[in-house]
Structure 1
Amino acid sequence: MSELTLLLLRIGFLVLLWFFVFAVVYSLRADLFGMKARKMPEPAAAAAAPAGPAVTKSPSSPSALTEPVARARPAAAPAAPQKGGPATPTTVSRIVITSGPKAGLELPLGSEPLTIGRSSESGLVIRDDYTSSHHARIMLWGNQWMLQDLDSTNGTWHDGARVSAPVAITVGAPIRVGATTFELRK
């Protein structure tokens, strides 16, 4: 081979190495700091009359996230939904953390999607080494609660199976995000 060919191969190899370094740095930055979230404007009707209690996203107000939800039960309560049935707005009303750093925490479920991750922009902030900045989302899709993995590093697990596409949540099924496990309950 000529010297010119070797020089071009060396330069090409260096360019390829630098491209790899920049890709790794970009990936780390996105995982540590998260992507920019676009805020959707709220409709005037929803802003005027909120449907239920909102989950506070501010880490500076821990009392809003750590107080258990107390609900008054009606006198003639319907029978509890059978464990393993579909999670709908009528069968579940709260998310309960069963294990992990925030075990015992209960949050009410509204009609808005609930994002879970390390980022302070998440509705449920879980700070552990196995949770991504934007790890998972629980959303109401039609009349069914769905669980979506947001391309997390360690994956999201529903009832022992890894979530790769949005999956329907069942009542009482364990959902694992990082080192935290939670369930949807009435």
Structure 2
Amino acid sequence: MSRPPVASPRRAEILGAAAALFARHGYHGVSIGELGRAVGLTGPALYRHFRGKEAVLAEMLLDISARLRAEGAQHAADPDPAGALDALLRWHIAFALDNPALITVHGRELDNVPEPERHEIRRTQRAYVEEWVGVLRRLRPDVPDARARAAVHACLGLLNSTPHSASALDRAAMADLLHAMARAALTGALDAPH
């Protein structure tokens, strides 16, 4: 299944408003009318851009997953595995800090996406994780894939906690803290006996 492109600035505006509303009130706590009003449309006018609220959520999560996967592949391609890991960390940290509503919705609302799109989102998420696993295995070929994969999932959980923790520090300080913590966690996972 291919991801529909964000075809217009209006469509992107709707997705941004939906992310903020879904993060604040939950998917089921937002009506199509409220979503339309957030961007200056009536509920029925929103149907010119999306089939419905489910389609908004699906496109939002498909887009996030595709963006993470594409950027992950680009950064993981660095021939220096240490440089690739730093690039992956910096990319994901910046994404998480700049998009707390998307991180919240991504973590909380996937079960509300129709099954075909949910399957595509999960497939794309697994591919993103595998970019990280490949980098870790290049750094430490002796570490089993399952251990590297578990470490990546734990690291992403740490980085995706930013909607709950990022307000304590300014953005640069939080990015540095997250980078140091995530790097230490991954290094520790690779260095621990297995």
TM tier, shorter chain? under 0.3
- Higher RCO (C-alpha under 8 Å, 6+ residues apart): 2
Question: More strand by proportion, 1 or 2?
Answer: 1
Larger Rg: 1 or 2?
Answer: 1
Query: Which has more helix, going by share of residues?
Result: 2
TM-score, normalised with respect to structure 1: 0.26
